[in-house]
Structure 1
Amino acid sequence: MSNFGFGFNNSGDDSDDERRGNNNEGNNNNDGSGNNGAGGPGNFGGGPFGFLFGGPGGTGSGMSSGNLGDLINQFGSMLSGFGTDMNSGDGETVNYSMAERIARQNIGQAAGPKSEDTQAVAESVRLAELWLDEATTLPAGATGSVAFGPTQWLEETMPTWKRIITPLAEKLGDASLSAMPEEMRGQLGPVESIMKQVNSMNFGAQLGNTLGELAKGVVLSTQWGMPLATGRTAAIATAHLDELSKKLGAGNRETLIYLAAREAAHHRLFQHVPWLTERLILDVEEFAAGLTIDTSKLDEAAREFNPEMMNDPAAMQEMMNRFQSQEIQPEVVSSNAHARQRLETSLSLVEGWVDYVVGSALGSRVPEAAMIGAAWQSFRTNGSPAMDNLTKTLGISLSAPKAAEAAELWRRLEEAVGTEKRDAIWDHADFLPVAEDLDNPAAFIGHVTFDADEMKDFNPISEIERLERELNQDNSGEDDRQIGSAGDDENEGDNKDGE
């Protein structure tokens, strides 16, 4: 993996992918599924519950006979099929080694950039930066550009995915155990630690499939309004340019310029609003802190559980089979739902700002800009099945549900106070619009306009001089009062002597 973000590894992307794939061929089935991980490609829906109910990626279907001791031994034998993956997670809640390996297998021989693509991306980014200079006061944030492939995207974004996924998976892993009936938890004993390992592998397998699917379809390093890759390189995936151009209804050159403008605009925002990235990640972590699992359907189904079943694997298997045929999958909820709303609002503000700024920069120069922008909004809204599965399981979305409303707010704000004051809203998190402002921007714009009018004639030097004069007058008055008080004391002393 590059230590400097995108841009230093592109020329050997395909050959490196092939070598890595060859190195891993001997372990293709170590996840025990025979299908590159739980749930099939792109399925992140099994969560931590597959172990319990034998669902996608689960293991319940392998237990069918013997007493509890035999059950544990059989379970241990079954786990031996996982090979080194059982020990590759280093106690992590998510087995990221497995996730990355399965993602690479999922990517396979997906097309990477052509040799001439990086030059085309560089020219498009340079042109977009010139036009963006007229649409925003934020200076250029990208220091380089590159055409990237799926494997490079996976490598560069994996550290950020770990920051996003780990706190969510930790809470879900704990909740998956606590969601079991109390009688069953009391009987777990030595199986509990093994279950945690299986949960880690299950998460890793499903995450690997999801990231592999995302990698094959991603077109920008900032596609979801968050800088998933570190560094300051504008990165565009050019392998699907033909397909994306058809979806956007434009030519390849116009589409590439539009993508370059979006990528460059994101970099301007994230490089010059340094608190923004951390705020987005912290919103995810705060949401995760309040995660619980709604097990009402599971509790209802588990009422038939009898502790004596633990000594009758056939009865246990029959109950699990019944569970599989019912819609009892627990639902992820969070007591910190406000954190999810704040994250979605922040992502909407980011995407809305980029939509409007890019539209302003390209509007008079690229005739198809408005059409491409509208098509992009549809493309973004429809999302991808892999991201939808990730959202369903983790309970949090990286979508920007009110990007259109945010773009309209930024447009109206610019008309009211100008480009400079519009962009100054990003100076501090407390200045940003909140969720209610996106539905009713008039009050927010009126407040900003009022503040701008109040500050229009404000002269900080004159204000300081005025305060100094007032302070001097107060001190002078205090001195006069002290002198008068001293004179009064003197006269009082003379009167006493006369008496």
Structure 2
Amino acid sequence: MADEPDDASEPDLQEMLRRMMAGGGAPDTAALAKAMGLPGGAAGLEQLMAQLRQAMQNPDGTIDWSIATDQAIAAAGAGTLSATDQQTAAVTQAFGVASLWLDESTTFDTLPETPGTLTRTQWIRQTMPFWVQLAEPVALRIADSLTSVFTEQIPPEIAGELAARVPDAGRMIQQVCGTIFAAQLGAVVGGLAADVVSGGDVGVPLLPDGKAALLPQNLAAFGEGLDIDEQQIALYLAVRELAHARLFRHARWLRLQLTSTIADFSRDLGVDIDQVQRFAEGFDPTDTERLKEAFSSGELIPPKTESQEAALNRLETTLALVEGWVDVVTADATARLPKSGAIAETVRRRRATGGPGEQAFATLVGLELRPRRLREAAAMWRRVTDALGTAGRDALWSHPDLLPTAEDIDAPDALIARLTAAEPPKDDVDREIEELLRGDDPPPPV
């Protein structure tokens, strides 16, 4: 028997849909999962097949995000390994010293919960609700659009057969699309879990309020090439993690402001219908790699709207202010460490450029979490600290109206002048109120 072509085992999408809608169960997802680059080997493929079967048996219009968690754990690698007793002891010691040092550099109180360690699996499970919150709006919109367009592309003879056998075929296709998107999100979050070193490493409050942790599995990789003692690295990163957690616990409004800004961005998320149509028209059913590429490249997400750009600018400014403050506080608290400057520069480069996982998430969802103006924000906070002291600087986090703006980052001199003025400048309304309180005659009408 002659050898079959290499792609003979690749599933034909139309045939997959025909069998699926005719009650033949889930399609052959092994080739699909292989093309998507999903981890887990045979066990992972079988797990995805079971999840697809369940999705099609329960087409309720929602996405089963547990798929993302399962795929993330598989992608992270060695995620179930707990920290050794030696690693736990080292991290506990680092957090103890870090808390004492931090007390000298900020007025924010210590955390009510003792910091500790997290495995990659624990980090994934505790942070996945946040990632789903960001990903769900775009996932639902893409699934809806792909369902509509793909259904329209099915040949009439197949469409009639499907309609007769399965009246709700479109929703089933939507579930499959949602399942694939969830698996892609899981692969991205798993990549992040293999790279982050702490709960606040991404800059946003991923962990519950008042919780701080380091990931011993990833500390060694962070220090590769730095020629710095691991204990120094752990101590510096413990200070950063505690500073981040203390800030969000003190400024309770900050977490809500970040999530509200993200919600503003997601509210205007859409899908480029024309691009979806072009994708469907030129889609080769045997090219399953193309389906993965459509999700992972972000090609179906249209350019950002003006309101989305405004929300993104607000988010970037807030993240830059958070990271800049953490940088300054950490620098002051770790001044005793001989190599703190080298570690700080490594952290800044990682945050400014973003790792592969962070970049993949931005492409998948269309939302970037990088503080583009980190250095400028840190320089501004340094100026504020020198002018107002630690207490005066930290007091600016007591209310959102007091927080410096993007304009303040651009012009720190004007900010310092305003903050150090003996009496804040008054506008016309302020002066008229004072005159009324003093009983002065009001000015004659013009």
Matched residues in 2 for 1:269 and 1:245: separation?
A: 26
Q: How many residue pairs get matched? A: 391
| 1:368 has 2:344 as partner | no
Q: Which amino acid aligns with 2:303?
A: V
With over 3 angstroms needed to count, the CA separation of the structure-2 counterparts of 1:118 and 1:231, relative to structure 1, is farther
Matched residues in 2 for 1:71 and 1:91: separation?
A: 17
| 1:269 has 2:247 as partner | yes
* RMSD (CA atoms): 3.8
Alignment of 1:187-198 (within 5 A): 190-198=168-176
The 3-state SS of whatever aligns with 2:271 is strand
- Decide which of 310, 314, 326 is 1:342's aligned counterpart: 314
- Corresponding residue for 1:224? 202
5+ long unaligned stretches in structure 2: 1-8, 30-45, 426-433, 441-446
- Decide which of 386, 390, 400 is 1:429's aligned counterpart: 400
With over 3 angstroms needed to count, the CA separation of the structure-2 counterparts of 1:224 and 1:272, relative to structure 1, is same
- Decide which of 177, 188, 198 is 1:199's aligned counterpart: 177
Matched residues in 1 for 2:324 and 2:379: separation?
A: 8
The 3-state SS of whatever aligns with 1:333 is coil
Instruction: State the shift of 1:167 in Å.
Output: 3.1
Matched residues in 2 for 1:231 and 1:325: separation?
A: 36
Contact 1:167 1:285 in 2 (8 A): no
Matched residues in 1 for 2:179 and 2:288: separation?
A: 21
With over 3 angstroms needed to count, the CA separation of the structure-2 counterparts of 1:90 and 1:429, relative to structure 1, is farther
Matched residues in 1 for 2:293 and 2:51: separation?
A: 33
Matched residues in 2 for 1:163 and 1:65: separation?
A: 34
Contact 1:141 1:232 in 2 (8 A): yes
- Decide which of 134, 138, 144 is 2:108's aligned counterpart: 138
Q: Which amino acid aligns with 1:272?
A: H
- Corresponding residue for 1:18? none
Matched residues in 1 for 2:237 and 2:344: separation?
A: 10
TM-score by length of 2: 0.75
Q: String of CA shifts for 1:85-131, please: whole Å, max 9, x gaps.
A: 44358846432121122222223434541112222212211211211
Alignment of 1:115-126 (within 5 A): 115-126=85-96
| 1:62 has 2:12 as partner | yes
Matched residues in 2 for 1:192 and 1:121: separation?
A: 51
- Corresponding residue for 1:294? 272
Contact 1:344 1:400 in 2 (8 A): yes
Contact 1:220 1:263 in 2 (8 A): yes
- Corresponding residue for 1:19? none
- Corresponding residue for 2:69? 100
Contact 1:121 1:236 in 2 (8 A): yes
Matched residues in 1 for 2:28 and 2:171: separation?
A: 13
Matched residues in 1 for 2:404 and 2:96: separation?
A: 31
Matched residues in 2 for 1:132 and 1:347: separation?
A: 21
Instruction: State the shift of 1:316 in Å.
Output: 7.6
TM-score by length of 1: 0.68
- Corresponding residue for 2:369? 398
- Corresponding residue for 1:55? none
With over 3 angstroms needed to count, the CA separation of the structure-2 counterparts of 1:186 and 1:443, relative to structure 1, is farther
Matched residues in 2 for 1:358 and 1:257: separation?
A: 11
With over 3 angstroms needed to count, the CA separation of the structure-2 counterparts of 1:192 and 1:410, relative to structure 1, is same
Instruction: State the shift of 1:290 in Å.
Output: 0.5
With over 3 angstroms needed to count, the CA separation of the structure-2 counterparts of 1:418 and 1:92, relative to structure 1, is farther
Instruction: State the shift of 1:382 in Å.
Output: 3.6
- Corresponding residue for 1:157? 127
Q: String of CA shifts for 1:250-284, please: whole Å, max 9, x gaps.
A: 21111011011001101110110001112111211
Q: Structure 1 vs Structure 2: percent identity of aligned residues? A: 31
Matched residues in 2 for 1:323 and 1:409: separation?
A: 45
